[in-house]
Structure 1
Amino acid sequence: MNHAPAAQLQAHLNQARITGVTITPVAFKDPPLLNTVGVHEPFALRAIVEVHTDAGVSGFGETYGDAGHIARLKLAADSLPGTDIFNINSMRVAIIHALHQDTIEGGHGMSGMVTGSSTGDRVLSAFDVAALDIQGKLLGRPVSDLLGGAVREAIQFSGYLFYKWAAHPGQAGDAWGEALDPTGIVRQARTMVDRYGFGALKLKAGVFPPEEEIAAIQALRGEFPDLPLRIDPNAAWTVETSIRVGKELDGVLEYLEDPTPGIDGMAAVRREVGMPLATNMCVVSFADVAPAVAAGAVDVILSDHHFWGGLRRSQFLAGITETFGLGLSMHSNSHLGISLAAMVHLAAATPTLDYACDTHWPWKDPAEDVIKHGALKFRDGAVEVPTGPGLGIEVDRDALERLHRQYLDCGIRSRDDTGYMQRINSSYQLQSPRW
């Protein structure tokens, strides 16, 4: 028997140790999407992490692009050379140790709405994805195989609706137009559904008085009688307001997401409303799970590999939700193609995924990405799981350089929805809860 191919493969894998990391911050155009803490700035920030190995194979991860987060990524990167690319546990230990002396401020990437999740897991995430990308390339298998195997061939996503201005101040209007009332939201939703085929819709709320946002949901129900609907005010409502809205929309919503701040507040709402409560704000780390379960605060956890520690630790979360009978889906922040590919592979290999995932993808200029076109396409509201090695995508080096140059030129170094809104409207005040 000829053992040469197996021996050659083993020798190849034995060389798969990290030799260095390249971190490239990028910026891409973002529309003026409104939320309870302000409005999106003209550019969204991300960081592209490329991990190099002595096997001559590199892998990519994507994460937040705030200055503080990038500084932590660099601390972590300096700790990783020599680490076996297949030993993500060792990577995690090295990263946590590197962050022990962390005195960096800010850098959570979520404009203050989600800041309590584990810093170590936020930093680990991009390296975890890059390591799995490399492992898949070395083995000739997609990342979903490394996570246990795909149980679905395509991943369903929901259309993510936002109140928005027609344009950033001083700029030309975009193709989406203004959406500041129920008519505008329905028009936006119709474009989303017609263009991408979404089979569920979610409204980012907490922007206008609850009565106006209830009217928008009712208008969506009238236009789309069969689509599951969700609303997410980012904890902008008091417990009393949340209960009132929940009762008024009982039988209309698939779930109500983060209506009020904190585990105790969510539990108080949950005792009074009929539909499930979902969260990506009061349960954002493993330390939050036990108290949320004990309080009966939530029914659905919206995971996000960017702050749950990557793909494998997100699968750990999926096991916990299955154990306690909780629903599971995915949260989204403004992202590029590397993040979308990672989300798709994770969702494919997570049997207990119960709801269509969130995505900001439609809000991104199609011409702006760091991956080559063609690997990820929306069809009937879903993205097919790539079957090529690793993440199954190819980074476009020229595009990466263009978006890096845009980062350097735009001048934005940390996401600040509130500060941007206050520069436009000096009387704007941040309030939580707002109504």
Structure 2
Amino acid sequence: MLDATTQQVFSQDLPDQQPFCRIQKIEVTPVAFADPPLLNSVGVHEPYALRAIIVVHTDSGHYGLGETYGDEVHVNRLRRAAEELINADPFNLNVISRLVSASLRQDDGQGGHGTGGMVTTTSLDDRVLSAFNVACLDIQGKILGLPVSTLLGGAVREHVDFSGYLFYKWAAHPGQEPDKWGPAEDPAGIVAQARIMVNDYGFRALKLKGGVFPPDQEAAAIEALHKEFPDIPLRLDPNGVWSVPTAINVGHRLESSLEYLEDPCLSIADNAAVRAEISLPIATNMCVVSFADLPPAMDAKAIDIVLSDHHFWGGLSRSKLLSGFAETFGLRLSMHSNSHLGISFAAMIHLAAATENIDYACDTHWPWKRQEDDVIVPGVLSIQEGRVKVPTAPGLGIELDPQALERMHQQYLDSGLRQRNDTGYMQSIDPSYELKSPRW
């Protein structure tokens, strides 16, 4: 817990007003859900994806939901932050943010990023704050009888458009039966996967996760997609593993096929060098992942589009701050996705609904998740015609299923996984696999 001096600093100069309610208890529960063998630039997804579920209870009888990464280091930080939020006012998001930051200053030296992904330069304070910010907004909406989109300034759209997220993949994890998607390890397999996305979900934009095979092969897959779906915008994301010359060559080749190229290189400087030579817009979720990254990226003219992610940027409130920055400085916006459950999906939908300058269909892993694997009561969120209807019930518009939460926590315990390690899993299957950046 915070010491007396720190508590005094936090309490001074605050208005003396009666809060609507106070946080009484916070539960942080790690869960696991089945994940297909999706290939990426650092390996392959393990059989289970990890998430952490935050349930914030108030003395008024309301609860709010948040969802974030489930790696053990991150879960420990969440629990430490949760201790500091007891008795806080969930309507005072500034104090919530201060308390989370203070809990992290007492870090026990465990180190580690803890977010289960390949992006490691995000703000520690923001990625721990995010789930608590979402949960507090959920509480506010339930108390006031308003959807979170209204609390964020008001919905400007009734539906949010999403893109079909294509992956190179194996037919199944070793020792498991093939899934409904089948293998996708060449252009024909990617086109077949895209047909399922378009036919079953109605997606009107498609994105290919690249950085897996030689760039010529991935460019051929984009060209095959463009031939099969000439009216559907396409994106390619090699996750920063191309060299500058490779990115320029592929960028020229695909200028007539792509809507934008995402993170061809890893650094701001390298992406700036690529952008200076190609006409394609460059999007990022790797070289600009915090507010500190924005000034150097703007100075270098490295990017055109920020793929925001409220898990990185401090929750929904600070993501709205990002949208204002983008509007002011002429950046365009879309939304990044990692493997997620329904709480994060609902939060993404409310944020996109209330962010007028979302210029592109947002990313989502939703189709890759078994629909029975979730912690919310089903029936609210579904993708039809490539879009999701924005919930209008109070808060996030979703409800926790306690039995499902318990079942998925048991799945976490049984899985034996405590951190995401795509590279280690790949090397357990193919010992010759090496992590390289740039790879081509």
Structure 2 residue identity aligned to 1:206: G
Residue 3 of structure 1 corresponds to none
Do the aligned partners of 2:259 and 2:281 also contact (CA within 8 Å) in 1?
A: yes
Residue 398 of structure 2 is aligned to residue 397 of structure 1: no
Q: Return the match for 1:352 from 349, 352, 357.
A: 357
Q: CA deviation at 1:107?
A: 4.1
Do the aligned partners of 1:41 and 1:416 also contact (CA within 8 Å) in 2?
A: yes
Spell out the pairing of 1:36-75 with structure 2 (5 A cutoff): 36-75=41-80
Spell out the pairing of 1:92-241 with structure 2 (5 A cutoff): 92-102=97-107, 103-111=109-117, 113-241=118-246
Q: Return the match for 2:319 from 314, 318, 321.
A: 314
Q: Supply the distance in 1 between the matched residues of 2:339 and 2:132 (Cα, whole angstroms).
A: 19
Q: CA deviation at 1:15?
A: 4.4
Q: Deviations over 1:239-284 (max 9, x none)?
A: 0100000000012100000001100000000000111000000000
Residue 433 of structure 1 corresponds to 438
Do the aligned partners of 1:15 and 1:54 also contact (CA within 8 Å) in 2?
A: no
Do the aligned partners of 1:70 and 1:107 also contact (CA within 8 Å) in 2?
A: no
Spell out the pairing of 1:1-20 with structure 2 (5 A cutoff): 14-20=19-25
Q: CA deviation at 1:389?
A: 0.5
Structure 1, unaligned runs of 5 or more: 1-12
Q: Secondary structure at the match of 1:278?
A: strand
Q: Supply the distance in 2 between the matched residues of 1:144 and 1:134 (Cα, whole angstroms).
A: 13
Q: Supply the distance in 2 between the matched residues of 1:256 and 1:359 (Cα, whole angstroms).
A: 17
Residue 379 of structure 1 corresponds to 384
Structure 2 residue identity aligned to 1:317: L
Q: Deviations over 1:222-241 (max 9, x none)?
A: 10000000000000100010
Q: Supply the distance in 2 between the matched residues of 1:171 and 1:144 (Cα, whole angstroms).
A: 41
Residue 409 of structure 2 is aligned to residue 412 of structure 1: no
Q: Deviations over 1:188-232 (max 9, x none)?
A: 000000000000000000000000000000000010000000000
Instruction: Compute the TM-score of the two structures, normalised by the length of structure 1.
Output: 0.96
Do the aligned partners of 1:72 and 1:104 also contact (CA within 8 Å) in 2?
A: no
Q: Secondary structure at the match of 2:105?
A: coil
Residue 5 of structure 1 corresponds to none
Q: CA deviation at 1:109?
A: 2.2
Q: CA deviation at 1:20?
A: 1.8
Q: CA deviation at 1:14?
A: 3.4
Structure 2 residue identity aligned to 1:282: C
Do the aligned partners of 1:17 and 1:55 also contact (CA within 8 Å) in 2?
A: yes
Q: Supply the distance in 1 between the matched residues of 2:80 and 2:114 (Cα, whole angstroms).
A: 16
Q: Secondary structure at the match of 1:378?
A: coil
Do the aligned partners of 1:231 and 1:257 also contact (CA within 8 Å) in 2?
A: yes
Q: Deviations over 1:391-417 (max 9, x none)?
A: 000111111111000000000000000
Residue 271 of structure 1 corresponds to 276
Q: Deviations over 1:97-149 (max 9, x none)?
A: 110021222243243x2010100000000000000000000001100010010
Q: Secondary structure at the match of 1:99?
A: helix
Q: Supply the distance in 1 between the matched residues of 2:162 and 2:110 (Cα, whole angstroms).
A: 35
Q: Secondary structure at the match of 1:379?
A: coil
Q: Supply the distance in 2 between the matched residues of 1:115 and 1:107 (Cα, whole angstroms).
A: 6
Instruction: Compute the TM-score of the two structures, normalised by the length of structure 2.
Output: 0.95
Q: Supply the distance in 2 between the matched residues of 1:108 and 1:400 (Cα, whole angstroms).
A: 21
Q: Supply the distance in 2 between the matched residues of 1:223 and 1:52 (Cα, whole angstroms).
A: 50
Structure 2 residue identity aligned to 1:340: F
Q: Supply the distance in 2 between the matched residues of 1:245 and 1:110 (Cα, whole angstroms).
A: 29
Indicate the percent of aligned positions where both proteins have the same amino acid. 64
Residue 424 of structure 1 corresponds to 429
Spell out the pairing of 1:293-332 with structure 2 (5 A cutoff): 293-332=298-337
Residue 11 of structure 2 corresponds to none
Do the aligned partners of 1:136 and 1:146 also contact (CA within 8 Å) in 2?
A: yes
Deviation >3 Å, runs of 4+:
none
Residue 231 of structure 2 is aligned to residue 244 of structure 1: no
- Over the aligned positions, Cα root-mean-square deviation in angstroms equals 0.8
Q: Supply the distance in 1 between the matched residues of 2:98 and 2:19 (Cα, whole angstroms).
A: 21
Do the aligned partners of 2:113 and 2:120 also contact (CA within 8 Å) in 1?
A: no
Do the aligned partners of 1:107 and 1:414 also contact (CA within 8 Å) in 2?
A: no
